[in-house]
Amino acid sequence: MTTASDIRLGAGLLKHALVQPDRTALTLGHRAYSYAEAATTARRWAALLVEAADGRPARVGVFAHRSEASYLGVAAALCAGAAFVPLNRRFPAERTRSMLESADVDAIVVDAASLPGLTDLLRGLPRKPVVLLPDVERAQAGELGDVRVLDARDLAAATPLEELPPVATDDIAYLLFTSGSTGAPKGVPVTHGNVRAFLDANQERYRLTPEDRLTQTFDQTFDLSVFDLFMAWENGARVCSMDPIELLSPFKYLERNEITVWFSVPSVAAVLRRRGVLRPGTMPTLRWSLFCGEALPRETAEAW
């Protein structure tokens, strides 16, 4: 079996699946995924990605939102040696279609909630990607035209990929797109070496341990989401995906999940300050509070 000693982003998930398989890697709502379960699922899906591409795929789209497909789809793409391309069903279809065309993905992982928008995205693409539906059976998928579909049964029955395609430092780990405010969205490739340096620098500062539990307040199409997900997995910690509605009153969530690392844009804290709900003792397990993406006003920081 390939170990996680290589440079690839996501190697930590595979390493901790071996050394602490029963620890929780991911929490979605009240559903917890152990490192062993997450890694096995990612390897299973990766096997089909490699088979569908007749070798190592180049890029895999992830058209899913805060679901098993969205997080383990990313892990599966990395296990297959591909770059992942996060896509958001809340974006205008025309914008997402331009991203798909620009990225020229070999496959796309889609969750059930995003499936209704898929047909429109695939229409007119010069090359149709293979579609993976981890939580949908083919009979429920509707008409997707002349695309190859691998459904929930196919993915569940696949044999986990043992030997992962090797990756190099300069290979692309993921492709994120700019907002497109000055025209069409532009893809920004980030290599395994790039993000490895980022993670190492942050670990030197924050010293995360397997006891830590990190929030994921950002959508995966936002670059700050990489910190939460991979700082957790690289260090054997847990990442907890928060629904946007929970940001309006996050304290019960933080206490229930014993969150130790909070990361959000400052405006979330500013809203909580204006509502007067920031009180001593409301976040008892926190040891790091991180803010990025906007200016952090002094009064917001002091209230937090």
CATH code, 81: 3.40.50.980
How many alpha carbons lie under 13 Å from residue 171 in its C-beta half-sphere? 19
Angle between helices 11-19 and 225-234 (to 10 degrees): 30
Same structural domain, 53 and 164:
yes
How many alpha carbons lie under 13 Å from residue 137 in its C-beta half-sphere? 3
297 in any annotated domain: yes
User: Which pLDDT tens digit goes with each residue over 47-72?
Assistant: 999 999 988 999 999 999 999 999 99
Same structural domain, 219 and 120:
no
125 in any annotated domain: yes
18 in any annotated domain: no
Cα-Cα end-to-end distance for the chain: 46
DSSP string, 263-276: EE-HHHHHHHHHTT
Q: Is the pLDDT of residue 1 over 50?
A: no
Candidate from 60-64, 86-90, 91-95, 220-224 with smallest mean pLDDT: 91-95
User: Which pLDDT tens digit goes with each residue over 170-192?
Assistant: 999 999 998 766 667 889 999 99
Q: Is the pLDDT of residue 219 over 60?
A: yes
14 in any annotated domain: no
Q: Is the pLDDT of residue 198 over 50?
A: yes
Same structural domain, 149 and 268:
no
Same structural domain, 40 and 186:
yes
Label residue 7 exposed, middle or buried (CB < 10 Å: 0-12, 13-18, 19+).
middle
pLDDT at position 4, please? 44
Same structural domain, 44 and 150:
yes
27 in any annotated domain: no
Residue whose tokens read 């030997």: 163
Secondary structure E strands in 146-230: 149-150, 172-177, 187-191, 213-216
Same structural domain, 211 and 163:
no
Beta-carbon contacts of 170 under 8 Å, excluding residues fewer than 6 positions away, are 191, 192, 193
Same structural domain, 212 and 186:
no
* Confidence bin at 26 (pLDDT 50/70/90): very high
The model's pTM is 0.94
Percent of the chain with pLDDT over 70: 97
106 in any annotated domain: yes
Percent of the chain with pLDDT over 90: 79
25 in any annotated domain: no
Q: Is the pLDDT of residue 125 over 70?
A: yes
Q: Are 10 and 18 in contact (CB under 8 A)?
A: no
Same structural domain, 96 and 148:
yes
Instruction: Tell me the residue range of the domain where 244 lies.
Output: 207-303
Domains identified in the chain, total number: 2
146 in any annotated domain: yes
pLDDT at position 182, please? 65
